[in-house]
């Protein structure tokens, strides 16, 4: 449905997007996740034909953004980062106006607008000026305007930014409902958003795509995805040496040293691929050390994200 190959965008000397490639299939809801200034908005503006890339190709439903921008725009609904709404217009007039702009035939406009109002739950504020609405309702108007021409693909740039927790839940719910019918790319810098709404995640950091997959895949694929916490008593240096030598250990660090009176207990965090508890236990027994805690912690998506987007 959307195919992006080696998309690169410079703003003057600033490299905002660096050789990004990905595809989105029909019906997918894909989260575009990354910290501020990662390049999310720039990528979305290129896909929606608001910005020309420095290099690379993008096609939407088989149409190239350079050669067929009108066809591309017809198939895409876009909720920009700061959706420009007209504060002095009421909701119905605004949606009619946008429907006209998007070339919805006059005879179909009332039906389309009514449908959008139903989907986004705007029935109670139809005649209010947009400027009077809460941020949550304004965002619903933003979603409604993006869909009024019935596009197959929706691009939502940080759809819940600036909303309060209740509004966030409502908008996510709405996006999930919309996602049953449409192909969606949504950007966010908050992680729970993608788990709550998306089938798949693309992580972008510092202009580059650093990971892609379902949240479960990302967690299990991340190197050192498992962390074992172990409390071991043994000669400190000897313990470290044995762990460095053990082929099942990727990395380890001391996070705590037991109180003196309690003997030399070391609390260690050991990273590995897969569950190493049994191997570690055998090592401790073989060396004649002691162990009193052994806990496996799966790395959360938060940690995977932090690992991929810092350094
Ligand atoms: N119009 C612009 N002119 C110059 N630099 C820009 C412009 N828009 C964005 N940038 C820069 O490009 C980078 C990516 O920005 P952006 O795509 O907005 O990231 P995100 O949406 O992930 O926060 C940032 O370093 C930002 O400062
Ligand atoms: Mg942005």
Tell me the CATH number at 27. 3.40.50.300
As a whole number of angstroms, the distance between CA 117 and CA 30 comes to: 25
As a whole number of angstroms, the distance between CA 153 and CA 147 comes to: 9
Q: What is the pLDDT of residue 311?
A: 57
Work out the number of other CB atoms within 10 angstroms of the CB of residue 235.
Answer: 12
Helix (H) / strand (E) containing 44: helix 40-47
**Judgement on whether residues 195 and 225 belong to the same structural domain of the protein:** no
Q: What is the pLDDT of residue 262?
A: 58
Which ligand has its closest atom nearest to the C-alpha of 43?
1
Relative to the CA of 12, which ligand 1 atom is closest? 4
Which ligand has its closest atom nearest to the C-alpha of 45?
1
**Judgement on whether residues 162 and 299 belong to the same structural domain of the protein:** no
> What is the count of structural domains for the chain?
2
**Judgement on whether residues 229 and 178 belong to the same structural domain of the protein:** no
**DSSP-assigned letters across all residues of 151-185:** -SEEEEESTTTT--HHHHHHHHHHHHHHHTTSEEE
**Cα-to-centroid distance, 147 and ligand 2 (Å):** 21
**Judgement on whether residues 145 and 271 belong to the same structural domain of the protein:** no
Query: Which pTM does this prediction carry?
Result: 0.78
CB-neighbour burial class of residue 247 (10 A; exposed 0-12, middle 13-18, buried 19+): exposed
Q: What is the pLDDT of residue 109?
A: 96
Q: Which of 157, 210, 298, 20 minimizes the C-alpha distance to 201?
A: 210
End position of a domain, from candidates 213, 240, 256: 213
**Judgement on whether residues 39 and 172 belong to the same structural domain of the protein:** yes
DSSP state of 131: G
Residues of the chain with pLDDT under 50: none
The β-bridge partners of 295 are: 229
Q: What is the pLDDT of residue 273?
A: 77
End position of a domain, from candidates 213, 247, 279: 213
**Cα-to-centroid distance, 45 and ligand 2 (Å):** 10
| Cβ–Cβ under 8 Å, residues 194 and 276 | no
Q: Which of 142, 148, 140, 138 minimizes the C-alpha distance to 114?
A: 148
**Judgement on whether residues 202 and 242 belong to the same structural domain of the protein:** no
Q: Which structural domain, as residue segments, surrounds residue 297?
A: 221-309
36 lines ligand 1 (CB under 6 A): yes
* Domain at 295, CATH number: 3.30.70.3100
**Judgement on whether residues 45 and 193 belong to the same structural domain of the protein:** yes
**Judgement on whether residues 89 and 232 belong to the same structural domain of the protein:** no
14 lines ligand 1 (CB under 6 A): yes
Q: How far is CA 296 from the centre of its chain?
A: 27
**Judgement on whether residues 265 and 147 belong to the same structural domain of the protein:** no
Q: What is the pLDDT of residue 123?
A: 95
39 lines ligand 1 (CB under 6 A): yes
Q: Which of 211, 217, 223 minimizes the C-alpha distance to 199?
A: 217
- pLDDT tens figures, 195-208: 888 999 999 999 99
**Judgement on whether residues 297 and 155 belong to the same structural domain of the protein:** no
Relative to the CA of 158, which ligand 1 atom is closest? 21
**Judgement on whether residues 43 and 174 belong to the same structural domain of the protein:** yes
**Judgement on whether residues 280 and 177 belong to the same structural domain of the protein:** no
Mutation pick for ligand 1 pocket among 39, 43, 188, 208 (CB with most ligand atoms within 8 Å): 39
- pLDDT tens figures, 244-270: 999 999 889 998 777 665 567 899 999
281 lines ligand 1 (CB under 6 A): no
Q: What is the pLDDT of residue 222?
A: 59
73 lines ligand 1 (CB under 6 A): no
Q: Residue 123: which residues within 8 A CB-CB, separation 6 or more?
A: 117
Q: Which two tokens stand for residue 151?
A: 């596009």
End position of a domain, from candidates 213, 232, 249: 213
Q: How far is CA 126 from the centre of its chain?
A: 32
**Cα-to-centroid distance, 264 and ligand 2 (Å):** 50
């Amino acid at each position: 449905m959307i195919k992006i190959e080696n998309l690169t965008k410079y703003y003057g000397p600033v490299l905002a997007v660096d050789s990004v490639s990905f595809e989105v299939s029909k019906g997918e809801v894909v989260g575009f996740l990354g910290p501020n200034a990662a390049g999310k908005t720039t990528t979305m503006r290129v896909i929606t034909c608001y910005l020309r890339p420095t290099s690379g190709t993008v096609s939407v439903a088989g149409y190239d953004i350079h050669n067929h921008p009108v066809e591309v725009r017809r198939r895409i609904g876009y909720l920009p980062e700061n959706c420009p709404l007209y504060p002095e217009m009421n909701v119905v007039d605004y949606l009619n106006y946008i429907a006209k702009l998007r070339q919805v035939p006059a005879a179909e406009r009332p039906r389309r607008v009514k449908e959008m109002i139903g989907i986004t739950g705007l029935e109670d504020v139809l005649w209010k000026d947009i400027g009077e609405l809460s941020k949550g309702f304004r965002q619903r108007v933003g979603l409604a305007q993006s869909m009024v021409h019935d596009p197959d693909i929706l691009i939502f740039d940080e759809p819940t930014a600036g909303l309060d927790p209740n509004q966030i839940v409502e908008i996510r719910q709405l996006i999930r409902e919309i996602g049953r019918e449409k192909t969606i790319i949504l950007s966010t810098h908050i992680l729970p958003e993608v788990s709550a709404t998306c089938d798949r995640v693309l992580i972008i950091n510092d202009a580059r795509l650093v990971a892609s997959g379902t949240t479960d895949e990302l967690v299990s694929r991340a190197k050192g995805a498992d962390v074992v916490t172990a409390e071991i008593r043994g000669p400190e240096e000897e313990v470290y040496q044995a762990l460095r030598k053990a082929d099942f250990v990727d990395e380890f660090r001391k996070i705590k040293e037991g109180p003196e009176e309690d003997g030399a207990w070391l609390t260690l965090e050991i990273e590995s691929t897969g569950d190493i508890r049994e191997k570690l236990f055998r090592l401790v027994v073989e060396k004649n050390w002691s162990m009193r805690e052994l806990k496996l912690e799966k790395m959360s998506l938060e940690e995977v994200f932090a690992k991929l987007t810092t350094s």
